Copies of this chain bind each other. A is one copy, B any other.
Amino acid sequence: MMQVSDIKWSVSEKEVAQNAFESAYSREIDALMKEVCEKASAIADLQDVWKLHDFLSARRHEIEGKYDYKYPILIFVFAQLVKEGWLQLNELEGLEASKLSKIAAIARMS
């Protein structure tokens, strides 16, 4: 069984990880802002307003839960970001091969 919570991160790995994390976050936030503006500009009635509210509630909950920069869970965070397309595996170059393979393997799980 993988003990990902015991994985150690070197100083240079932490730097790679922080940059990758911030890149993914920035991409997802940019996409969110674009989507909010599109939805808002298409508002035609009150239902659209409440749909925008529901959308924001769900996205806020999801984003606040997902971008949790803690080393014991970072393998899982990166795997999810790769799976969702906010991060490419090659942006994690500089991490140990064993970390990269764990991230890739978890990202492939459905």
Contacts and interface: CB of A to CB of B under 8 A. Distances in A.
B57 A36 contact: no
Interface in A20-71: 29, 32-33, 36-37, 39-41, 43, 45-46, 49-50, 52-53, 56-57, 60
Report copies per complex: 2
A3 B60 CA distance: 45
Contacts of A39: 40
Counting chain B CB atoms within 10 Å of each CB, which of A37, A45, A56 scores highest? A56
Contacts of A41: 37, 40-41
A20 to B, nearest CB: 19
Contact of A49 (B36, B49, B50, B53): B36
